[in-house]
Structure 1
Amino acid sequence: MKSALETLNPTRVKMTVEVPFEELKPSLDAAFKAIGEQIQVPGFRKGKVPARIIEQRVGRAAVLEEAVNNALPQFYGQALEEHAVRPLGQPEISDLKVPATDGEDFTFTVEVDKRPEITLPDFGSIELTVDEATVDEADVTDRLDTLRARFGTLKSVDREVREGDFVSIDLSAQVEGEEVDSVTGVSYEVGSKNMLDGLDEALVGMRADETKTFTAPLAGGDRAGAEAECTVTVTAVKERELPELDDDFAQLASEFDTLEELRADVERAALRDAKLAQGVAARDKLLEVMLEQVEVPVPESVIEAEIHSHLEGEGRLEDDEHRTEVDESTRKSLRTQLLLDALAEQESIQVQQQELIEFLVMMSQQYGVDPNTFAQSIDQEGQIPSMVAEVARRKALATVLEKVTVKDSAGNVVDLNETVPGTEDEDEDATDAPGAASGDASEEAKVVTDAEIAVDEAEGSQSDPTREEKADA
């Protein structure tokens, strides 16, 4: 096989491939065999029909189609390897010429988007400025109040509903006079705004056994987005009583004996979170600066395919204003991934199994899914290489973050070692019982078996949301 490469633009190439008949013949023989096992010809056993009889029965075109469909991915892959092309998305096959008779060459042309060549500068001279890591009394008070709320009690009250109250309600919705949904006896915190738009405003000022109607767009179901006439009835009103902030509360809610000790621990947690916020801000600002300094061309056909898929999924293909927003975010996302992939390659970043496991556990927590179930799911969907690539990108960005200078708004140099996520304390929530461990040490162990899949195979192969693919003829 021989092939020629033509670069159409920084992100797209055209390859012309010529395959001698001798190299296609094994696929042709396999096609005759496969078809011979599917047809029955009087006088011949199944699978023993001669090639010439098969060709007479089904036609040469059918045999060639079978052979080419099986051989094309192989020859396309060889051409990619020969020219060191790393594809993005699906190839476009054209000028397909199959041999009309034995001895003729098989030729085809393929156009495909590819990863651009990216020249990376030295990022070490970058200086970043982030906010100071400070903790004020209001922050500490809010955190203590949140902790108190966990130990609060609800009591019924005979008064109008206020924001922050807990109410029991019956709720129904009608569209054009037809009831589309209804619930009874639902407990709801007024002001949480996690049900229908307008519900919180309707509830404030109501009393038990009072009914009110309001109009709101439906949030889900077959009629999502449709304006509905909603009816809400309050059946009970309760307010939350918070425990007093004293030594007894400190002993109830934490491992500490005094309120002073509890408050000091909450202050430490708040300061830790402020420092972590500095690290996150530094990382985000660094990425913005890197994108400004480096030209990262992106393939238009890949961008358009991603935009179309996104809008189609939302049912908003005709929304031009939203299309502009999606276009901008899609371009930035792809530029970011291509840049970090190039950086990971330059830095020879490798992903260890434990790093992948920790990433999977973190992702499963964000989605509220059991880590083992999450790992099994992405394995079945073939997403492990994508997860490995994402960990590699994060590690690559971290290597640059270690080299740059970060100062706070007061001019003080920020010690990034105090802001880098991954310490034992990071996963503790300041609203959890201070001083107590908030995670289950066995959680990572549960995901190990499923996270160990394909790490070795994925190392060195960069994946992206456009799914680098072989030909699918």
Structure 2
Amino acid sequence: MKSAVETLNPTRVRLTVEVPFEELKPSLDAAYKKINQQVTVPGFRKGKIPARVIDQRFGRGAVLEEAVNDALPKFYSEAVSEGELNPLGQPEVDITELKDNELLAFTAEVDVRPTLEIPDYSGIEVEVDAVEVSDEDVEKSVEQLRERFASTAPVERAAAEGDVLTIDLEAKVDGEVLEDGVAQGVSYTIGSGELLDGIDEAVTGLEAGGSATFTSELKGGSAAGREAEVKVDVTAVQARELPELDDEFAQLASEFDTLEELKADSRRRLEEGKKYEQATQAQEKVLDALIELVEVPIPEKLLEDEVRTRKHNLENHQLGQMGLTLDSYLKIQEKTAEEFDAELKQQAEKGIKTQFILDELVNKEQLSVGQEELTEHLMRRAQSSGMSPDQFAQAVVEGGQVPMLVGEVARGKALAVVVEAATVKDTNGEVVDLDDEDETAETVEAESAEAPAAESTGDKPEA
């Protein structure tokens, strides 16, 4: 077999392949055997029909077509290997010549990963938020904990800010009660902002047994985004009672004996959270700076497929679970369809660029992934998916997704190399030491998981 590679553009090539006919013999034999099992010819036992009879009865062309379709994937793969290509997606194959007992020639056009030049990235400098926890932050944190230990007691008075109500709701659109617009026994805290716009004003001042009607735009359900007339009946009013902020509360709400110890622990936790946010911010900014340094041509079809996949997942999975359509979602987001499409394309481009660049860095830095690293990553992914580690691992193996997970970990390590080489300063001008932070892979997972199309290494071609 002879093959040649023609570069059509930085992300697409044309393979020209010539195969001597004798190399088709295994596929030709397999084609005769397959046809033998599928047809019946009087005078011959099934599976024992001579090749010449099959040629006479069904035509040599049918046999050749079967043989070529069987052999093409093998010859295509060999040509890809010889050309040292990294194909993306399915090739467009065209048989240019098929001479019986002489030659098979075909071309295959396919998108490929572009060759990237990674410049010196040690000069990257980014600025991140400083880790600062104020007394007000600590007080707010303790107050939130206090809220969790609040109790309620029925009161015989008008409902006010902070009260917990038990309410029944009925929503009408165009005078008709919605099938999914009725709810009973709903617990609602006035001022929480957890239900419909306008409900706070409607229920404030009502006592148990009181009713009110207000107009609001529905956030979800069958009439999401539409104006509805909502009737609310208050069946109970309860006042919230907060525990005293003292040592007794600290003992109730934590493992600490004193309120001061509880506050000190809250400050420590807040600082850890800020450090996590700082590390994540550093990764994101370093990644953005790296993308700016590297020129990355993107295959048009890959980008189209990625945009289509993202849109499909949003419409059929994320929005579907929330009872929203794309139109109602865009209305809530206050975006036009054109703005949404442009944003989706921008996100897809960034995801693909991220994957290409970090994969190139994995090769350049010769990074490998150990079993322990893969297991830790699998545990994190299982936790975020809501599955047990065993269930997630089984799904990954059965779905053939292990290489994808390995790639995610490797890209995380590649980004860590760049972050380590970069200069990261906070808003106070202090150099930030990120050595103690072990969150590098998380940003990469989020980026690369959004570009699954770039994982493809080529599908089976057919004539």
**Same-fold call, TM cutoff 0.5:** yes
In structure 2, the residue matched to 1:20 is 20
Point out the more displaced range, 200-209 or 137-146: 200-209
Q: Distance in 2 between matches of 1:206 and 1:48?
A: 90
Q: Distance in 2 between matches of 1:204 and 1:470?
A: 63
* Cα shift at 1:303: 0.8
In structure 2, the residue matched to 1:379 is 397
AA matched with 2:95:
L
In structure 2, the residue matched to 1:135 is 133
In structure 1, the residue matched to 2:148 is 150
AA matched with 2:460:
A
TM-score normalized with structure 1 length? 0.82
In structure 1, the residue matched to 2:46 is 46
SS in 2 for 1:123: coil
SS in 2 for 1:261: helix
In structure 1, the residue matched to 2:432 is 414
Kept in 2: contact 1:76–1:470 (CA 8 A): no
Change (3 A) 1:240 1:346: farther
AA matched with 1:276:
Y
SS in 1 for 2:3: strand
* Cα shift at 1:155: 2.8
In structure 2, the residue matched to 1:268 is 268
Question: Identity of aligned pairs, percent?
Answer: 49
State how many pairs are aligned.
Answer: 431
1:347-398 alpha-carbon deviations (Å, 9 max, x no partner):
1111122222222222233333333323323333332222211111111111
SS in 2 for 1:121: coil
SS in 1 for 2:117: coil
In structure 2, the residue matched to 1:6 is 6
AA matched with 1:140:
V
Change (3 A) 1:162 1:402: farther
In structure 1, the residue matched to 2:83 is 83
* Cα shift at 1:263: 1.0
Q: Distance in 2 between matches of 1:349 and 1:106?
A: 41
In structure 2, the residue matched to 1:470 is 459
In structure 2, the residue matched to 1:449 is none
* 1:358-373 correspondence to structure 2 within 5 Å: 358-373=376-391
* Cα shift at 1:195: 5.5
In structure 2, the residue matched to 1:447 is none
Q: Distance in 2 between matches of 1:129 and 1:107?
A: 57
SS in 2 for 1:392: helix
Q: Distance in 2 between matches of 1:368 and 1:125?
A: 40
* 1:198-213 correspondence to structure 2 within 5 Å: 207-209=207-209, 210-213=211-214
AA matched with 2:352:
L
Q: Distance in 2 between matches of 1:65 and 1:228?
A: 63
1:340 pairs with one of 344, 350, 358 = 358
Kept in 2: contact 1:173–1:180 (CA 8 A): no
SS in 2 for 1:255: coil
In structure 2, the residue matched to 1:122 is 120
Residue segments in structure 1 that go unaligned for 5+ positions in a row: 423-462
In structure 1, the residue matched to 2:220 is 219
SS in 1 for 2:38: coil
Kept in 1: contact 2:11–2:113 (CA 8 A): yes
Point out the more displaced range, 373-382 or 28-37: 373-382
2:419 pairs with one of 401, 404, 407 = 401
* Cα shift at 1:39: 2.5
Residue segments in structure 2 that go unaligned for 5+ positions in a row: 316-324, 328-335, 441-450
1:422-466 alpha-carbon deviations (Å, 9 max, x no partner):
9xxxxxxxxxxxxxxxxxxxxxxxxxxxxxxxxxxxxxxxx9533
Q: Distance in 2 between matches of 1:255 and 1:275?
A: 24
* Cα shift at 1:218: 5.7
Q: Distance in 1 between matches of 2:144 and 2:393?
A: 33
* 1:245-324 correspondence to structure 2 within 5 Å: 245-312=245-312, 314=315, 319-324=337-342
TM-score normalized with structure 2 length? 0.83
* Cα shift at 1:83: 0.7
In structure 2, the residue matched to 1:327 is 345
SS in 1 for 2:439: coil
* Cα shift at 1:85: 0.8
Q: Distance in 2 between matches of 1:192 and 1:39?
A: 73
CA RMSD of aligned residues (A): 2.9
Q: Distance in 1 between matches of 2:255 and 2:205?
A: 41
* Cα shift at 1:326: 1.0
Q: Distance in 2 between matches of 1:343 and 1:169?
A: 58
In structure 1, the residue matched to 2:165 is 167
* Cα shift at 1:158: 4.1
* Cα shift at 1:40: 2.8
